[in-house]
């Protein structure tokens, strides 16, 4: 992937974050009004709420007094006195959209000219913002075209072996999920794909609105193609089971490049050599067990963690693709419950939400911030049912922790011998949200006092690893 393509995908992912969460990392937004949040503008001597407005639905902020406005990257660039690209990479690192290796390869070791930075900022903020956000196809079209695309692909033996042996997925699950190998857009493949679209009575023009696809000039003729990297396609499904996006697990994660990324073609919008191009929009992913699920909803990071949860624990699972990408999670939970009520008349609704982010959530403050923002939002917008059995955790939201040698919940479950939810439950420490938040914030304040800093972001990771939350004693 070249520098420009990676940059466009990173900006794309940052724009899909909830802008109020990004901005509230730097300033307080104490008042909500008509779907927007209000704060004091940091860019002029503001003393009264009302002029500085953050609108998550539009992904923008605007000060009607001094005139400053733009997206999340624009805000951070103004607030910290850095350029647009520096701000984008800072946010992407904080929200775990990229890892430090990506940062080093595509930013720290690169040099962007002042003109490049100005051109990119102008493109994103002024010219193409609304088009960029609204051009994607509707859900039914995404599902139909992505299914046809995946049916045209094959799964290479080495990828099947990885899914079977490393991820412990059965052949039945692999086929059901439609895991497929990525391949290049050869003439033969594109002819076969176009023929399949024609048979389904779908005009190829629809690719103008499909993430991952774009046109480029080949021998003087504009032809359809798609973004390619060696790896496995992971179909991302919504609550209704429809494919709303594709992720790619790259075969090789070297010291400079991350493992997972979106099948997106937003980069093509800003290059004269290409036509069309669409953002992936970073959708949530939902998986259900094959039988009636229990009344616990898991929220974790990434598809393969969900696979481990539904296999071992029989819980419905939502995975977010990056800890900050949880927009509209309340609506997805409501859809899930509605679907389960209809399919299983004896299902009585969720009693608990278990959030199982990676084990670094306690010593990376930016991860905790997103965790708390998401859990606060769920707590405010989702009504959990009361628990009636005494041997279960009381109703509510819980953070799950486990032995530190296992980074993700999938590593823990796949390397354990537990065979049912009760056995697997013994592997975790369950922290009630209210208790853990309170204890963690107390310890953060103590550390800040000890280190003489005024903001948690000024604490080092080494400082944060010293934080340990005792298990709550029930009385």
> 3-state SS of 372-437?
HHHHHHHHHHCCCCCCCCCCCCCCEEEEEECCCCCCCHHHHHHCCCCCCHHHHHCCCEEEEHHHHH
Q: What is the enclosing helix (H) or strand (E) of 297?
A: strand 296-301
If phi over 0 gives left and psi between -120 and 50 gives alpha, with beta otherwise, what is residue 50? Answer: left
Assess contact for 145 and 210: CB atoms under 8 A: yes
Give the separation between CA 72 and CA 262, rounded to whole angstroms: 20
Q: Are 311 and 168 in contact (CB under 8 A)?
A: yes
Q: What is the DSSP string of 183-235?
A: ----HHHHHHHHHHHHHTT--GGGGGGSTTEEEEEETTEEEEEE---SEEEEE
Identify the pLDDT of residue 198. Answer: 96
pLDDT digits (tens, 9 = 90+) for 425-442: 999 989 999 999 999 999
| Residue among 171, 25, 3 at smallest CA distance from 102 | 3
Name residue 213's beta-bridge partners: 226
Q: Give the model's pLDDT for residue 64.
A: 66
CB atoms within 10 A of CB 393: 14
pLDDT of residue 405: 81
User: CA 95: distance to chain centroid?
Assistant: 9
* 3-state SS, residue 285: strand
Q: Residue 430: which residues within 8 A CB-CB, separation 6 or more?
A: 354, 393, 398, 399, 400
> pLDDT (tens digit, 9 = 90+) per residue, 290-344?
999 999 999 998 999 999 999 999 999 999 987 777 878 999 999 999 999 999 9
Q: Give 428-472 as a DSSP string.
A: -EEEEHHHHHHHHHHHHHHHHHHHT-SSGGGS-HHHHTT--PPPP
* pLDDT score recorded for residue 269: 60
Q: Where are the alpha helices (DSSP H) in 278-364?
A: 303-313, 329-343
3-state DSSP call for residue 159? helix
Distance separating alpha carbons of residues 133 and 81, to the nearest angstrom = 27
Q: How big is the CA angle at 13 (ends 9 and 15), to the nearest 5 degrees?
A: 115
Locus of tokens 């004269």: 272
What structural domains and CATH numbers belong to the chain? Answer: 3-134 (3.90.580.10), 139-275 (3.90.980.10), 285-464 (no CATH)
**Can you read off the two tokens belonging to residue 297?**
């909803």
Which residue ranges of the chain lie beneath pLDDT 50?
127-128, 131-133, 255-256
Q: Choose among 9, 351, 376, 46: nearest CA to 211.
A: 9
Handedness of CA 252, 91, 303, 233 (dihedral sign): negative
Output the pTM of the full model. 0.74
Pick the closest to residue 69 from 126, 26, 115, 13 (CA basis).
Answer: 126
């Amino acid at each position: 992937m070249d520098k420009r393509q990676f940059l466009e995908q990173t900006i794309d992912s940052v724009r899909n974050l909830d802008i109020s969460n990004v901005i509230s990392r730097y300033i307080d937004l104490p008042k909500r009004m008509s779907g927007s949040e209000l704060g004091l503008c940091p860019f002029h001597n503001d003393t009264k709420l009302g002029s500085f407005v953050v609108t998550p639905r539009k992904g923008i902020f605007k000060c009607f007094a001094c005139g400053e406005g733009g997206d999340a990257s624009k805000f951070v660039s103004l607030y910290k006195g850095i350029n647009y690209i520096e701000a984008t990479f800072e946010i992407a690192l904080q929200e775990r959209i990229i890892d430090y290796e990506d940062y080093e390869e595509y930013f720290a070791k690169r040099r962007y000219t002042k003109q490049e930075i100005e051109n990119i900022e102008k493109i994103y903020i002024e010219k193409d913002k609304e088009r960029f956000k609204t051009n994607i196809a509707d859900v039914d079209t995404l599902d139909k075209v992505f299914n046809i695309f995946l049916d045209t692909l094959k799964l290479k033996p080495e990828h099947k072996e990885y899914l079977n042996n490393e991820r412990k997925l059965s052949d039945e699950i692999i086929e059901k999920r439609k895991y497929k190998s990525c391949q290049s857009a050869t003439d033969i493949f594109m002819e076969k794909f176009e023929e399949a679209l024609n048979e389904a009575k779908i005009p190829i023009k629809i690719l103008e609105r499909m993430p991952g696809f774009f046109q480029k000039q080949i021998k003087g003729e504009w032809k359809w193609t798609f973004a390619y990297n060696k790896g496995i396609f992971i179909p991302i499904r919504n609550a209704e089971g429809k494919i709303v996006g594709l992720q790619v697990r790259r075969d090789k994660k070297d010291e400079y490049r991350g493992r997972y990324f979106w099948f997106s073609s937003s980069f093509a919008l800003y290059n004269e050599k290409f036509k069309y191009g669409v953002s992936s929009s970073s959708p949530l992913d939902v998986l259900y067990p094959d039988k009636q699920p229990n009344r616990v909803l898991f929220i974790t990071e990434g598809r393969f963690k969900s696979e481990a949860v539904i296999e071992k624990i029989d819980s419905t699972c939502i995975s977010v693709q990056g800890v900050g990408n949880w927009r509209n999670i309340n609506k997805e939970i409501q859809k899930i419950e509605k679907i389960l009520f209809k399919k299983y008349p004896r299902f009585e609704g969720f009693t608990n939400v278990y959030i199982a982010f990676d084990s670094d959530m306690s010593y990376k403050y930016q991860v905790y911030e997103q965790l708390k923002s998401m859990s606060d939002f769920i707590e405010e917008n989702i009504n959990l049912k009361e628990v009636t059995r005494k041997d279960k955790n009381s109703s509510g939201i819980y953070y799950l922790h486990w032995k530190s040698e296992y980074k993700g919940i999938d590593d823990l479950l796949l390397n354990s011998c537990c065979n049912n939810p009760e056995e697997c439950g013994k592997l975790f420490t369950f922290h009630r949200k209210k208790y853990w938040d309170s204890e963690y914030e107390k310890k953060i304040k103590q550390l800040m006092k000890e280190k003489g800093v005024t903001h948690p972001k000024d604490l080092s990771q080494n400082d944060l690893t010293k934080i340990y939350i005792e298990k709550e004693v029930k009385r």
